[in-house]
Amino acid sequence: MPEGPEIRRAADKIHRAIAGHIATDVFFAFDHLKPYEGDLVGRTVTAVKPYGKAIVTSFDSGLGVYSHNQLYGIWVICKPDAVPATRRQLRFAVHTPSRWALLYSASDIEVLSAEAVPTHPYIAKLGPDTLDTTLTPEEVAERTLSAPFRRRQFATLLLDQGFLSGVGNYLRTEILYVAGIHPSQRPVDCTPEQIAAFAEAALALPQQSYRHSGITNDLGLAAQLKASGHRRREYRHWAFGRVGQPCHRCGTAIAKIAIGGRRCYVCPRCQPVSHS
């Protein structure tokens, strides 16, 4: 499933393509949304904004289209009548004179009034966005140690969009690796130094991933590995997806574990299991 950085990059791309332009055609695949097609044709797209892992495409009529990519959804931007071949099912489309924005495979799509966007069940429960550059590590640390979260395992806590929004499986692995925290630990199990490291990583890694096309590894090391012929999947991350490969810090083989039904990657030496 795309995580916060990927969704924000997608929203940026869609915004650049269609915001400020009039919709010459709008398509919904679902029957209950088809009555809105006529309401949106001829209206100007005003903004395309991410909310965690969701996107709202807003129009000057005061209506917005909420979409969540879920596991298989994908956006495609193309020139008119230049739709790439695909076997995917088109779910939502906005046509403008210069660009078409097409959403394939997603099923979680709704039309909302501008007033209803903040109270949408998914949006309303979102925690602070890790891509919010005004959010500070101190605020993240305080939230992490607060009553609702401090006794929950990091493995499940980090996938709770009500804790910090935009974090998914690869960011969870990478944040905990950089902080030196085992996924089975809880905030109350951690030292103040670990909590501080976690709070820093929880912001720095998603923001780096957003700016550098998904790379969470040290940028200098990633560039060095790329230059020496390594594939992207070998230099993109510190630990995620690197089972059996040497830790970039200590050389220990990265291990894959399952917690809460989801895979997570750890360095047994850099992230020892430690409970208080």
Q: Which of 5, 6, 49, 53 is catalytic?
A: 53
Same domain? For 170 and 204 the reply is: yes
pLDDT at 169: 93
Same domain? For 89 and 177 the reply is: no
Same domain? For 218 and 149 the reply is: yes
Torsion angles phi and psi, residue 200, rounded to 5: -65, -50
- The two tokens of residue 32 are 């209950």
pLDDT at 120: 97
Note the pLDDT tens digit of each residue in 27-82: 999 999 999 999 999 999 999 999 998 999 999 999 999 999 888 899 999 999 89
SS3 state at 263: strand
Could you tell me if 178 and 196 are in contact, meaning their C-beta atoms sit under 8 angstroms apart? no
Q: Is 262 a catalytic residue?
A: yes
Which run of H or of E encompasses 92? strand 90-95
What is d(CA 211, CA 213) in angstroms, rounded to the nearest whole number? 6
The DSSP bridge pattern shows strands 100-104 and 255-259 to be: unpaired
Q: Is the pLDDT of residue 276 over 70?
A: no
In the chain, count of helices (H) and strands (E)?
Answer: 9, 10
Best CA proximity match to 274, nearest among 152, 159, 186, 149:
186
Q: Does residue 132 belong to any structural domain of this protein?
A: no
Which CB contacts under 8 angstroms, 24+ apart, belong to 104-107? 104/73, 104/74, 104/75, 104/76, 105/72, 105/73, 105/74, 106/67, 106/68, 106/69, 106/70, 106/72, 106/73, 106/74, 107/70, 107/73
Q: Which of 2, 50, 187, 206 is catalytic?
A: 2
Q: Is 2 a catalytic residue?
A: yes
Q: What are the strands, taking DSSP E only, across 40-99?
A: 45-51, 54-59, 63-68, 74-78, 90-95
Banded model confidence at residue 177, pLDDT cuts 50, 70, 90: very high
What is d(CA 149, CA 196) in angstroms, rounded to the nearest whole number? 16
pLDDT at 166: 93
Based on the structure, what is the number of domains in the chain?
Answer: 2
Q: Which of 9, 13, 152, 262 is catalytic?
A: 262
pLDDT at 274: 72
Note the pLDDT tens digit of each residue in 200-218: 999 999 999 999 999 999 9
Q: Which of 3, 6, 110, 174 is catalytic?
A: 3
What CATH number did the domain enclosing 52 receive?
A: 3.20.190.10
Q: Does residue 75 belong to any structural domain of this protein?
A: yes
> Cβ of 114: how many Cβ atoms within 10 Å?
14
Q: Is 3 a catalytic residue?
A: yes
Same domain? For 77 and 110 the reply is: yes
Best CA proximity match to 183, nearest among 168, 172, 199:
172
What CATH number did the domain enclosing 157 receive?
A: 1.10.8.50
Note the pLDDT tens digit of each residue in 238-266: 999 999 999 999 999 999 999 878 899 99
Which run of H or of E encompasses 14? helix 4-18
pLDDT above 90 coverage of the chain, percent: 93
For the chain, the average pLDDT equals: 96
Same domain? For 240 and 202 the reply is: yes
The DSSP bridge pattern shows strands 63-68 and 54-59 to be: antiparallel
Count of positions (residues) in the chain: 276
Same domain? For 15 and 119 the reply is: yes
Q: Does residue 21 belong to any structural domain of this protein?
A: yes
pLDDT at 72: 87
- The two tokens of residue 260 are 């809460």
- Domain of 52? 4-124
Could you tell me if 93 and 101 are in contact, meaning their C-beta atoms sit under 8 angstroms apart? yes
Q: Average pLDDT of 130-144?
A: 97
Same domain? For 93 and 200 the reply is: no
Could you tell me if 256 and 242 are in contact, meaning their C-beta atoms sit under 8 angstroms apart? no
Same domain? For 111 and 152 the reply is: no
